[in-house]
Amino acid sequence: MKSVVIGAHLRRDDIEPLAEAIAAGELFLSGLPVADDQPLGDRELLLRVAKIRAALLERATFIAIRYGLAVSSPAEASAKCAEHLERWRALLEQHRDEVEMTLKVVAPERVARPDRHDFKSGGDYLKALHAATNAVEVDPEFHTAAEEAIGKGRWLHRDQASLELAALVARDAVERVRAAGEELKRRFPHVPFLLSGPWPLEVFADADRE
Amino acid sequence: MNEALDELTLLETLDHLLDRGVVVAGEAIVSIGDVDLLYLGLNIVLANVDAIKRTSKR
């Protein structure tokens, strides 16, 4: 058996009996045990993990681990996560009463994706791709209103057609933020966007996005 | 309308599952099944954008 890792948690009872609790240093990883030959791309498995992830978040805030990590023992879990454990513990203690919410807004115009054939090197192509993604913009008025609605968080350029604002929201403020999202929809009927959440610590736990 | 919202919720959930959170060093998977994960992720993002547009027009 192997366990598909879902997240990192402060306490064992934040996990059980919804998922398997795997000790990793002073923290616990939540896992879903599956057969060794179980393909991770199985649709039913993805949906099961998504469902457990949501149930775990209702219990307590945790750090989301990108889908794809599987471990066979607590020793393997500790070894693979060793360099992160101290930082994760600090984040979990700091954000215990918060969750993430995201507002994905569709840009008025999709920025043209560079054509690989126009570039001599892969590096130049990646730079152009990055520049095209970062060129995506939304109405400045909406930009400000979105921050007022869900809070000043991190704007992420993820593709050539949309922008995303991720913010930390107090657990008891989720409904207020949803209501602010509805109000935003009324104020900006011409701007297609999706307010979603609550989510575990995803963007705010990702050191690469700090 | 409910079907469109269900589709949007599913796409958003998969987007968060596959493309968010901490990547543990050396453990980023590049494919699931026979599908390249970057390709799958990109398609989910694009499908998600289209779904947001469709849903907001209703």
In the 8-state DSSP scheme, what is residue B23?
Answer: P
Q: Are A65 and A29 in contact (CB under 8 A)?
A: yes
A202–chain B nearest CA distance, Å? 4
* Closest of A87, A105, A68 to residue A181, by C-alpha: A105
Query: Shortest CB distance from A40 goes to which of B23, B29, B46?
Result: B29
pLDDT in tens, A7-50: 999 999 999 999 999 999 999 999 999 998 888 878 788 889 99
Q: Are A63 and A201 in contact (CB under 8 A)?
A: yes
Query: Shortest CB distance from A68 goes to which of B28, B33, B34?
Result: B28
Supply the pTM of this predicted model.
Answer: 0.82
Q: Are A23 and A74 in contact (CB under 8 A)?
A: yes
pLDDT in tens, B4-46: 666 677 788 888 888 888 888 655 555 555 555 555 555 555 6
Q: How many domains does chain B have?
A: 1
Q: Which residue has the tokens 């090197």?
A: A121
Q: Which residue has the tokens 């009927």?
A: A189
- Domain ranges for chain A, please list them: 2-94, 98-209
**Structural domain boundaries, residue B39:** 2-57
According to DSSP, the β-strands at A162-170 and A154-157 are antiparallel
Whether the CB of A44 is below 8 Å from some CB of chain B: the reply is no
For B28, phi then psi, to 5°, come to: -70, 125
